[in-house]
């Protein structure tokens, strides 16, 4: 690789491969169809879509693993604030413990409904 160029990688240092699924800056899940590398940047590309450009040292995000009933059961035993932190459930600044409990309950219900529709 020429000096000043870098291949895109995940936070754990694993290089991105063609066919990998990744989360772009907008939060959409895409598949890598090809990669372009230039001095000072690299781009993950999908046909007919805008390229997602990454600066050197910027990491590519992997999609979250599919939810399962077992994971939901395990997560439901967490304290509400820990659950919200793990699942990235947004709480307003200055939140109260009851806010975390309510946010957790709503998220658990949403996850269970999605799992029930998916047949998992």
- DSSP assignment of 68-111 equals -HHHHHHHTTS-HHHHHHHTT----TT--HHHHHHHHHHHHHHH
pLDDT band, very low/low/confident/very high, at 34 (cuts 50, 70, 90) = confident
Q: Would the pTM count as exceeding 0.75? A: no
Last residue of some domain: 40, 63, 86? 63
Give me the pLDDT at residue 74, please: 95
Give me the pLDDT at residue 89, please: 81
Q: How far apart are CA 108 and CA 119, in angstroms?
A: 16
Residues 37 and 17 reside in one and the same domain: yes
Cβ neighbours for 42, distance < 8 A, ≥ 6 positions apart: 5, 6, 7, 8, 35, 36, 53, 54, 56
Has residue 57 got a pLDDT over 80?
Answer: no
Residues 74 and 54 reside in one and the same domain: no
Q: Mean pLDDT score of the chain, rounded to an integer?
A: 80
Give me the pLDDT at residue 2, please: 65
Q: Find the domain containing 22 and state its range.
A: 1-63
Residues 57 and 80 reside in one and the same domain: no
Residues 8 and 53 reside in one and the same domain: yes
Residues 55 and 73 reside in one and the same domain: no
Residues 59 and 107 reside in one and the same domain: no
């Amino acid at each position: 690789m020429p000096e000043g160029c870098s291949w895109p990688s995940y936070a754990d240092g694993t290089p991105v491969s063609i066919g990998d699924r990744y989360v772009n800056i907008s939060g959409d899940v895409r598949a890598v169809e090809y990669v372009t590398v230039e001095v000072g940047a690299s781009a993950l590309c999908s046909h007919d879509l805008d390229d997602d450009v990454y600066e050197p040292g910027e990491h590519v995000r992997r999609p979250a693993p599919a939810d399962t009933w077992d994971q939901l059961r395990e997560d439901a035993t967490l304290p509400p604030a820990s659950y919200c932190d793990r699942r990235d459930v947004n709480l307003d600044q200055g939140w109260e413990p009851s806010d975390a409990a309510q946010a957790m309950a709503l998220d658990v219900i949403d996850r269970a409904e999605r799992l029930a529709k998916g047949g998992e």
